[in-house]
Structure 1
Amino acid sequence: MKTMKLGSSSLEVPVVAVGCMRINSLEKAEAERFVQAALEEGANFFDHADIYGSGECEEIFAEALHMNAEIREKIILQSKCGIRPGMFDFSKEHILNSVDGILKRLKTDYLDVLLLHRPDALVEPEEVAEAFDQLETSGKVRHFGVSNQNPMQIQLLQKAVKQPLVANQLQLSITNTTMIQSGINVNMENDAAVNRDGSILDFCRLHDITIQPWSPFQYGFFEGVFLGSDKFPELNQKIDEIADKYNVTNTTIAIAWLLRHPAHMQPIVGTMNTERLKDCITAGDLKLTREEWYAIYRAAGNILP
């Protein structure tokens, strides 16, 4: 699989990451086969969070991988923390305790990347900085980032945090394009012109922060998958037409659409189906034309001024 640098770091990662939020839906043998198949395809970047399955997903993954020191050096592990029942928590104590729990469940001594999961309204950047320093010094975390944060939130953190924030995990798909729409419809009197995220797409490009699109096949907020949905007939017709041209699946085209953007994104794909994962990986070798990218964008109901 093609690789890329994660943000401003020297960490070389696959252009498609494997999301493990649903790994607890697999039986033990199925999980083992899926993880092994991913590695055989070069998909060795695995994304976790301490809340996925209330931690169960990290445990299942470690068991499926038969984690040991030799295997650990062949994979890249990313996890997230900061969500608690009924609240968000970026306190130093919670971050440190969360990472210890993550490492224990994943049966590893370190994370390659730690992301802060959702913005905490009560964040104290100096506490985050202390936590990050302690995690880096102890060797428990090598790189840091955020998830679902806007430019001002990132700048507020970065004022105190000395480590570069290398990734920002954000919802983005062909049918969830607000961060793209507002940049196209500048100064227009339509809903697409509304800047809902502080120009986070351009901000991340300016500051060498890799955007990791989550739910790349979903419409709405986990309302369903747009591929094959009768709610998006024009979009599916266009995707299928382009898929036929390249002799690939519609899954491949949906991921290729994200990879075509010059921001050099790293989609997080959550499929637990081996063949579909392969279709996602195939997208790394396919570059859509400008005409095809815009045709898909418009077919999803997005407007051009």
Structure 2
Amino acid sequence: MAARTDIRAHKLLYGCMGLGGGWDTEPYTADDIRHAERAIEAALSAGITAFDHADIYKYGKSEAVFGEVLARSPGLRQRIVVQTKCGIRLPEGDRPGLYDLRGAALVRRVEESLTRLRTDVLDVLLLHRPDPLTEPGEIAAALASLHAQGLVRQFGVSNMSGPQIAALQAHTDLPLVVNQLEMSLARRDWVEAGVLFNTPDATRNGFAPGTLEWCAANGVRLQAWGPLARGRLTSGADTRASRLVAELARRKDTTPETILLWWLRRHPAGIAPVIGTTRPERIGACADAARREPDLTHEEWYELWTTARDAPLP
């Protein structure tokens, strides 16, 4: 499959949520396409060949401008992996936002994404959020149909716990290979859930215990959205955590962004960060995270953790 290898082989992904102009239904512009071209080229230059989408990003415009770039770049599609998500419906008129993983809706959303992306197949489809009203068997039947038609190669989920994935996996022979969660040095509930067990603080941690372990035991690759914490630790703010990140970057001859991504990648769960910045220079600052193995000692990893949490471990 050329670059279309198993998504679990990718160490870093580029998240396309910021492409496509504003969060509205206004048409995208030529400037939006050029902006996307620059971001995609910066990601490729940084060694990133997997691109993450969702059908709701910028009301579909993120996928559409990406499709424009693919149409203008012969051969690019064969060099990259394209992943998208569906299952969230944005508010419309008087109807509030909702989740929809019904079979017919899944198939329709995939067909619409393929049209916007100007491709005949998705390398990976993730179910964006769990839908409590849809039976797992109905979801599994839709996934089987999409796979049999050659429209989707691999499947996964986003924002789901280990038991939720297990319940869905029990209804399908197609492996669910990805779980995308918010994970960063600033969003640490996923790692703290494992050490706060049997402490009074455990009840205040909302992360589903055992999710990381279940994913590791069942070949599910964790992807981290929001891994740079929206710049909170690299934007120049004078905090103990940001100073430590900057100091380690100087010591390791790399960038603060790479230190944050290394902190995730150093965890044995096998976490692939999904970077979402649209600034080419900041995308480039993540290149070491794609090209080098995490250069953090056991002690440095813990120092980052305890400094960011601003409290000792139990």
Q: Same fold (TM over 0.5)?
A: yes
Equivalent residue for 1:34? 39
Given residue 268 of structure 1, which amino acid in structure 2 is its aligned partner? Answer: V
Q: Report the alpha carbon displacement of residue 131 of structure 1 after superposing the two structures with TM.
A: 0.5
CA deviation map 1:37-59 (0-9, x unaligned): 32233311000000001111101
The answer as to whether partners of 2:193 and 2:209 remain within 8 angstroms in 1 is: no
Residues 292 and 79 of structure 1: CA distance in aligned 2, closer, same or farther (over 3 Å):
same
Q: Report the alpha carbon displacement of residue 27 of structure 1 after superposing the two structures with TM.
A: 3.1
The answer as to whether partners of 1:235 and 1:300 remain within 8 angstroms in 2 is: yes
Equivalent residue for 2:155? 144
**Structure 1 SS opposite 2:113:** helix
Q: Report the alpha carbon displacement of residue 264 of structure 1 after superposing the two structures with TM.
A: 1.3
More deviation, 236-245/280-289: 280-289
Q: Report the alpha carbon displacement of residue 179 of structure 1 after superposing the two structures with TM.
A: 1.4
* TM-score w.r.t. length of structure 1: 0.90
1:21-100 alignment runs, 5 A limit: 21-25=17-21, 27-66=32-71, 70-85=75-90, 86-100=97-111
1:1-305 alignment runs, 5 A limit: 10-11=6-7, 13-25=9-21, 27-66=32-71, 70-85=75-90, 86-191=97-202, 194=205, 196-218=207-229, 225-228=232-235, 230=237, 233-284=239-290, 285=292, 286-301=294-309, 303-305=312-314
* TM-score w.r.t. length of structure 2: 0.87
Given residue 138 of structure 2, which amino acid in structure 1 is its aligned partner? Answer: E
Q: Which runs of 5+ in 1 are unaligned?
A: 1-5
The answer as to whether partners of 1:212 and 1:265 remain within 8 angstroms in 2 is: yes
Given residue 225 of structure 1, which amino acid in structure 2 is its aligned partner? Answer: R
The answer as to whether partners of 2:42 and 2:283 remain within 8 angstroms in 1 is: no
The answer as to whether partners of 2:140 and 2:172 remain within 8 angstroms in 1 is: yes
Q: Report the alpha carbon displacement of residue 225 of structure 1 after superposing the two structures with TM.
A: 2.7
Residues 67 and 103 of structure 1: CA distance in aligned 2, closer, same or farther (over 3 Å):
farther
Q: Report the alpha carbon displacement of residue 250 of structure 1 after superposing the two structures with TM.
A: 1.0
Given residue 215 of structure 1, which amino acid in structure 2 is its aligned partner? Answer: G
RMSD value, Cα: 2.1
Residues 42 and 160 of structure 1: CA distance in aligned 2, closer, same or farther (over 3 Å):
same
How many residues end up aligned between the 2 structures?
A: 293
The answer as to whether partners of 1:204 and 1:211 remain within 8 angstroms in 2 is: yes
**Structure 1 SS opposite 2:300:** helix
Equivalent residue for 1:3? none
Q: Report the alpha carbon displacement of residue 271 of structure 1 after superposing the two structures with TM.
A: 0.9
Q: Report the alpha carbon displacement of residue 28 of structure 1 after superposing the two structures with TM.
A: 2.5
Between the aligned partners of 1:287 and 1:204, the Cα distance in structure 2 is 24
Residues 187 and 246 of structure 1: CA distance in aligned 2, closer, same or farther (over 3 Å):
same
The answer as to whether partners of 1:16 and 1:280 remain within 8 angstroms in 2 is: no
Q: Report the alpha carbon displacement of residue 67 of structure 1 after superposing the two structures with TM.
A: 5.6
More deviation, 182-191/41-50: 182-191
Q: Report the alpha carbon displacement of residue 287 of structure 1 after superposing the two structures with TM.
A: 2.0
Between the aligned partners of 2:207 and 2:48, the Cα distance in structure 1 is 33
Between the aligned partners of 1:228 and 1:10, the Cα distance in structure 2 is 34
Residues 22 and 165 of structure 1: CA distance in aligned 2, closer, same or farther (over 3 Å):
same
